[in-house]
């Protein structure tokens, strides 16, 4: 079964800390993987898209890596700020003849001032 | 504004009523998705359109749900005879599919969602 798992489900860190969020997927045959941020009651904001041929993508303080062989992606957030508090979701599009993106349940991040 | 827009943002209805949500994707985007999200969960796929063609539907999409994308522009999602279990956030996303050097592009962009409460 094609699934996406995110660990931990929740994380609370002091401001300024570097942190890593994890995303695991069950099949290495993927088109791409995308990380999103979601604030309470809002839609999803795209953070980074990694194509299957790429190993990592960077945007500002965010860096996402992709290791298809181990079925893992990590989102690294440098120098965390209270404004980074949100739920972070990853989504995978598998190559199995489907168009859909499968989402994990997210990691709820709280950065304490 | 060139983002994905959804309407209405909030809908409260009584059980048994019909509701319709509208999604306007980013103008040049040819792919459109509907997802449903309940509290504490990730979005669940409902259906996918490429231009005006509905190419994939989830088994979650019972016969009370119907979606259209006439002319490959905006899309509507209708829920007939609503049930309390339909209460959720309904999210629309769009992307642009092109083949560039043999690779798919296709970053997903979401709207703010339409929150449905069924009493």
Q: What would you measure as the largest C-alpha separation in chain B, in angstroms? A: 51
Q: Which residue of B has its CA nearest to A108?
A: B40
C-alpha torsion sign, points B86, B92, B98, B102 = negative
Are the Cβ atoms of A100 and B58 closer than 8 angstroms?
yes
Are the Cβ atoms of B93 and A44 closer than 8 angstroms?
yes
Q: Which of B108, B111, B115 to mutate to test the interface with A (most CBs of A within 10 A)?
A: B108
| pLDDT given for residue B99 in this prediction | 67
Asked if A22 contacts A10 with a C-beta cutoff of 8 angstroms, the reply is no
Q: Residue A105: its chain B contacts at CB < 8 A? A: 40-42
Do the bridges between strand B10-13 and strand B114-118 make them parallel or antiparallel, or are there none, so unpaired?
A: parallel
- Identify the weakest region by mean pLDDT among A3-7, A27-31, B85-89, B102-106: B102-106
Are the Cβ atoms of B50 and A99 closer than 8 angstroms?
yes
pLDDT tens digit sequence for A59-107: 999 999 999 999 999 999 999 999 999 999 999 999 987 889 999 999 9
Tens digit of pLDDT at every position of chain B (119 positions): 579 999 999 999 999 999 999 999 999 899 999 999 999 999 999 999 999 999 999 987 889 999 999 988 999 999 999 999 999 999 999 998 876 654 456 799 999 999 999 99
Of chain A, the percentage scoring pLDDT greater than 90 comes to 93
Q: What does pLDDT average to over chain A?
A: 95
User: What is the distance in angstroms between the Cα of B18 and the nearest Cα belonging to chain A?
Assistant: 23
Q: Which residue of B has its CA nearest to A89?
A: B42
Nearest alpha-carbon partner for A113 in A39, A8, A12: A12
* Rounded distance between C-alpha atoms, residue A6 and residue B119, angstroms: 32
Asked if B2 contacts B27 with a C-beta cutoff of 8 angstroms, the reply is yes
Q: Which residue of A has its CA nearest to B47?
A: A100
User: What is the distance in angstroms between the Cα of A46 and the nearest Cα belonging to chain B?
Assistant: 6
Asked if A73 contacts A66 with a C-beta cutoff of 8 angstroms, the reply is yes
* Rounded distance between C-alpha atoms, residue A14 and residue B33, angstroms: 37
Collapsing DSSP states into helix, strand and coil, what is residue B85? Answer: helix
- Enumerate residues 6+ apart whose C-beta is below 8 A from B28: B96
Are the Cβ atoms of A102 and B31 closer than 8 angstroms?
no
* Rounded distance between C-alpha atoms, residue A6 and residue B115, angstroms: 25
Residue in A49, A53, A100 nearest the CB of B107: A49
Residue in B4, B43, B56 nearest the CB of A99: B56
Helices within B1-119 (DSSP H only): none
Asked if B23 contacts B111 with a C-beta cutoff of 8 angstroms, the reply is yes
Residue in A31, A43, A105 nearest the CB of B112: A43
pLDDT band at A22 (very low <50, low <70, confident <90, very high): very high
Name the CA dihedral angle for B92, B62, A99, B28, rounded to a multiple of 10 degrees: -30
| pLDDT given for residue A96 in this prediction | 83
């Amino acid at each position: 079964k094609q699934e996406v798992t995110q660990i931990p489900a929740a994380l609370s860190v002091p401001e300024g800390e570097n942190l890593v969020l994890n995303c695991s997927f069950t099949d290495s045959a993927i088109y791409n993987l995308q990380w999103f941020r979601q604030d309470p009651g809002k839609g999803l904001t795209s953070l980074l898209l990694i194509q299957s041929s790429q190993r990592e993508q960077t945007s500002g303080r965010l860096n996402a890596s992709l290791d298809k062989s181990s079925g893992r992606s990590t989102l690294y957030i440098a120098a965390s700020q209270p404004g980074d508090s949100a739920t972070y979701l990853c989504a995978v599009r598998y190559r199995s003849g489907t168009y859909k993106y499968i989402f994990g349940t997210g990691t709820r991040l709280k950065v304490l001032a | 504004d060139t983002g994905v827009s959804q309407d209405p943002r909030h809908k409260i209805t009584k059980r048994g009523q019909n509701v319709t949500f509208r999604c306007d994707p980013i103008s040049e985007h040819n792919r459109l998705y509907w997802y449903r999200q309940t509290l504490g969960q990730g979005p669940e796929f409902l259906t996918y359109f490429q231009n005006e063609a509905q190419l994939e539907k989830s088994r979650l999409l019972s016969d009370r749900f119907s979606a259209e994308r006439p002319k490959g522009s905006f899309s509507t999602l209708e829920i007939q005879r609503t049930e309390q279990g339909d209460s959720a956030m309904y999210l629309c996303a769009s992307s642009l599919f092109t083949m560039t050097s043999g690779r798919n592009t296709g970053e997903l962009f979401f709207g703010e969602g339409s929150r449905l409460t069924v009493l």
